[in-house]
Structure 1
Amino acid sequence: MPATSASEDRYVLYGAPGSGATPVHAALTLIGAQVDTVDIAPWEGDAERERVSGVNPMRQVPALRLPSGELMTESAAMLLWLGDRHPEAGLCPAPDSPLRARYLRWMVYLPAAIYSIYWVRDDPSRLVPDAASQPAMLERSAERIAHCWHLMDEQIGNPSPYLLGERLSMLDLYVAVMSRWTPTRERFYREAPRMAEAVKRVDADPRLAAFWAARFPFVAGWEQGQS
């Protein structure tokens, strides 16, 4: 895939602050690309789902309009594509890197094992029509997410200083955002202590300070899921 100058690219990103659009927006920020944001939160009701239906027939976000005009969905696909599209940003291992297989493994693991669970949590009636049973589903799905973080932490090796070694990657951005969702970053620290320090470095990266403040701020109590 040929590289392109970030300053030549303009993207349109659909999604709400703190949502799955956030790691994509963070990546675009580090790349230095121009991006217009359209805030849509389909989980907030039918009106929002209708708003996004004209962009993505699945009525889900994130969605990313590329400079070519083509639309991408699926946050992992966007991150993988952007990493290869902008190698000068150094946000992914090159195709011939010994880290490439590990990178691809965990970039696919995250949406397959963890992200997909939120589709049910956003609207429990999708799979659990009995309202009385939904609290148990929410509790068990949160435990499943925590367990998946634990499994990843056990297998990813010894992150230092980032999840793939010396350089911040798309994987770090993805985990940094997703680990702030249910069952909270505080639980993530307990389940994934080896990954915790790498993720904290992403939180504190000065290149992202203004971005986090605008799109996913670290308000009081955020690690416990409070706002």
Structure 2
Amino acid sequence: MTTRDDGELTLFSARGSGGVAVEAALTLAGQPYRLVDAYTWDKDDPQSGDRVLAANPMRQVPALVLPGGEVLTESAAILLWIVEAYPEARLGPLPGAPGRAQLLRWVSFVSAAIYSLYWVKDDPSRLVPDPAGHEALESRVLDRIAECWGKMDAQVEPAAFLLGEAPSVLDLYVAVVSRFRPRRRRFYAVAPRMAEVVRRVDGDPRLAALWAERMPFGPGWEG
């Protein structure tokens, strides 16, 4: 079992980012945290994104600083840490429990196969210097994201939620990342079984205030 200090957590995150999945997990776990907004993509305010450098030299959110000063980066790692650090919250199977292997598999899949592609999609010049190739690259990346959601949907066996009758960090992760482009309408089309799950997560009353503040359901949010 992961040990913990019940002092204050510090989370570097950003409104509308993948860090909101971590914010949601801590909310469901009933764990207070100090939030530091760091908008790493805001070219008009680079100092906002630079705030996270104190915790993550990759200049990426989320980053979680534990009370003793230890730093966790990578959304998948943070979510899995929360499962073990706060077992009473029941946000996923613990080591040795049924379903644990699938939790590890699919959290890692969302992180490696889908979430990582936004580093390319959000700034195609990182890999393709010629602007003439950016549109085609972005289109191919979005197609790949949709394909990966479809592959996952074909292999999971959801009940009310992806791992059973109770929500887990996996559900939170999918609900947040599926709101990025190509956005929810396409996600619903390629992943109809997971579509029902993320709608339940969207409607969880315990998260209503968080969604409204950090990832609002504004006009056109589904795409």
Matches within 5 A, 1:109-148: 109-148=109-148
Letter in 2 for 1:149: W
- TM-score where L is the length of structure 2: 0.95
Q: Secondary structure at the match of 2:41?
A: helix
Q: Quote the residue 1:71 is aligned against.
A: 71
Matches within 5 A, 1:51-66: 51-66=51-66
How far off is 1:194 after superposition?
Answer: 0.6
Q: Secondary structure at the match of 1:210?
A: helix
Asked if 1:174 corresponds to 2:173, the answer is yes
Gaps of 5+ in 1: none
Q: 1:2 to 1:144 in 2, by over 3 A?
A: closer
Q: Distance in 1 between matches of 2:55 and 2:98?
A: 37
Q: Please tell me whether the aligned partners of residues 20 and 75 of structure 1 are also in contact (alpha carbons under 8 angstroms).
A: yes
Q: Please tell me whether the aligned partners of residues 24 and 210 of structure 2 are also in contact (alpha carbons under 8 angstroms).
A: yes
Identity %: 56
- TM-score where L is the length of structure 1: 0.93
Structure 1 segments, 4+ long, off by >6 Å, are: none
Gaps of 5+ in 2: none
Letter in 2 for 1:210: A
Letter in 1 for 2:54: G
Q: Secondary structure at the match of 2:147?
A: helix
Q: Quote the residue 2:17 is aligned against.
A: 19
Q: 1:4 to 1:48 in 2, by over 3 A?
A: closer
Q: Distance in 2 between matches of 1:60 and 1:93?
A: 28
How far off is 1:204 after superposition?
Answer: 0.3
Q: Please tell me whether the aligned partners of residues 37 and 48 of structure 2 are also in contact (alpha carbons under 8 angstroms).
A: no
How far off is 1:53 after superposition?
Answer: 2.4
Q: Please tell me whether the aligned partners of residues 184 and 223 of structure 1 are also in contact (alpha carbons under 8 angstroms).
A: yes
How far off is 1:9 after superposition?
Answer: 3.9
Question: Does 129-138 or 32-41 show the bigger shift?
Answer: 32-41
Q: Quote the residue 1:207 is aligned against.
A: 206
Q: Please tell me whether the aligned partners of residues 160 and 166 of structure 2 are also in contact (alpha carbons under 8 angstroms).
A: yes
* Residues paired across the two proteins, number: 221
Q: Please tell me whether the aligned partners of residues 171 and 197 of structure 2 are also in contact (alpha carbons under 8 angstroms).
A: yes
